[in-house]
Chain A
Amino acid sequence: MKGYMLKGFAAIVISGLMSSTALAHDPIFSIGPHVLFKNGVEVAAEMESDKAGNEKEQVLALNLKYGITGDWAVGVDLPYVFKDKGYESSNGNGDFAIFTKYRFWRKDSLGLQESAAVLLKVLTDTASGNKTPSLDKGTTDTILGLTYGYEGRKWYRWASARYRFNGTNDLGIDRGDKLLLDLVGGIRPNPTGYLEPDTVWLLELNTEFGQRAELGGNDLSNTGGTEVFVSPGIFWTKRFFAIKAGIQIPVYHDLNGTQNKSDYRARLTFEWHL
Chain B
Amino acid sequence: MKKKIIAGLFGLLLIQAAFAAGTHYEMRVDGLACPFCAYGIEKKLKAVDGVSDIKVDLNKGLVSVNMAEGKELSEEQMKKLFKDAGFTYRSMKKSPL
Task: Please report A residues at the B interface, Cβ cutoff 8 Å.
Answer: 24-25, 34-40, 67, 69-71, 103, 106, 108-113, 151-153, 188, 191-196, 198, 200, 235, 237-240, 242, 273
Contact = CB atoms under 8 A, between A and B. Distances in A.
7 contacts: A25-B36, A38-B84, A110-B30, A112-B31, A191-B59, A235-B36, A239-B36
B35 A111 contact: no
Contacts of A40: 40, 43
A111 B36 contact: no
> What size tier do the contact residues of chain B reach?
20 to 34
A268 B32 CA distance: 26
A273 B39 contact: yes
A150 B43 CA distance: 24
B31 A194 contact: no
B34 A198 contact: yes
Interface of B is mostly: mixed
B85 interface: yes
A198 B60 CA distance: 17
Contacts, number: 100
B88 interface: yes
B75 interface: no
A107 B60 CA distance: 17
A232 B63 CA distance: 33
A198 B84 contact: no
Given A37-B44, A191-B59, A194-B56, A108 B30 contact: yes
A191 B85 contact: no
B52 to A, nearest CB: 16
Given A191-B59, A193-B58, A239 B86 contact: no
B83 interface: yes
Most B-side CB within 10 Å, residue of A103, A106, A111, A235: A111
Contacts of B39: 37, 239-240, 273
Contacts of A198: 34-36
Contacts of B44: 37-38
Nearest to B32: A111
Contacts of B97: none
A24, A25, A70 pick with most chain B CB within 10 angstroms: A70
Q: Which 9 A-B pairs have the closest CB atoms?
A: A37-B40, A108-B31, A108-B30, A38-B84, A237-B36, A194-B56, A108-B88, A113-B31, A70-B86
